[in-house]
Structure 1
Amino acid sequence: MSRSRKGKGTRRTTTPINVWCLPAEREELERLAETAGLSMSAYLRQVGTGYQPRSVVDYDQVAIMARANADLNRLGGLLKMWLTNEERLTPEQVTQLTKDIAAANELLKQAAKKIVRSKI
């Protein structure tokens, strides 16, 4: 059957197909369907007809990455300013700045890992 529906009626008025699976398999199918942004029925229908669903990017993680990137740019600018100006930061300020850069970098890495795990 092609992408367009053949026959009359809606899918809800047609005969469903039952799939027997173990609870762990069902959980995995539900996770994959959610990752693709589809209902379980739509996911199984697409996979069964040879279409490979694409995952939906986790927009919350993208927003976190954007904020972390902005923080890294701001902190990098402060570090550059410190290196080029006559005014010098105290050693404590430099230590705190490098800690802030490391924390923002770690946040960026964690958000990227979550996005990569969310892909099929």
Structure 2
Amino acid sequence: MQKQDDEKRATRKSSQHLTVYCLPEEKGQIMRNAKNVGLSASAYLLRVGVGYEVKSTLDSQLVGELVKVNADLGRLGGLLKLWLTDDKKLAATGHALTAGTVRALLKRIEDTQAVMFESVKKL
């Protein structure tokens, strides 16, 4: 009995298909929208057509970028802390702490923060 029920269940592939007429520009936009959310055009149109909310994968990509930028800031902050504490290991490598070095590092941190801010604005 269970096997007969499974055989009678309709699947999307064995069901009717729907034809959508559109202009080339519209097709391109549909394809781009589908790609942006990580779906095929068919799956995208089906979800939009039946009223499902289509969630973008771009947000998760931007979050990934922010995580990387935040890690860069953490590494730069650690380097600055090492220099400001005048670690003996650093002195042994011949790197001297100079005002120019600290300013350059602070500038790099500011630049990285600007990149992070731009990524947040995109969200």
Relative to the length of structure 2, the TM-score reads 0.65
Deviation string 1:3-57 (CA, Å, 9 cap, x unpaired) is: xxxx744322333211111222212211221222211111111111111111124
Q: Say which one has the larger Rg.
A: 2
User: Which amino acid letter does the alignment assign opposite residue 99 of structure 1?
Assistant: K
Relative to the length of structure 1, the TM-score reads 0.66
User: Which amino acid letter does the alignment assign opposite residue 98 of structure 1?
Assistant: L
Q: Does 2:111 correspond to 1:103?
A: yes
Q: Does 2:98 correspond to 1:90?
A: yes
1:68 aligned counterpart, secondary structure: helix
List alignment gaps of at least 5 residues for structure 2.
1-7, 88-95
Q: Does 2:30 correspond to 1:32?
A: no
| Cα distance in 2 between the residues matched to 1:63 and 1:31 | 21
Show the 5 A alignment for 1:1-120: 8-57=9-58, 61-80=62-81, 85=85, 89-112=97-120, 116=123
Q: Which has the higher contact order (CA 8 A, sep 6+)?
A: 1
| Cα distance in 2 between the residues matched to 1:18 and 1:86 | 71
List alignment gaps of at least 5 residues for structure 1.
1-6
Q: CA deviation at 1:77?
A: 3.4
| Cα distance in 2 between the residues matched to 1:78 and 1:55 | 36
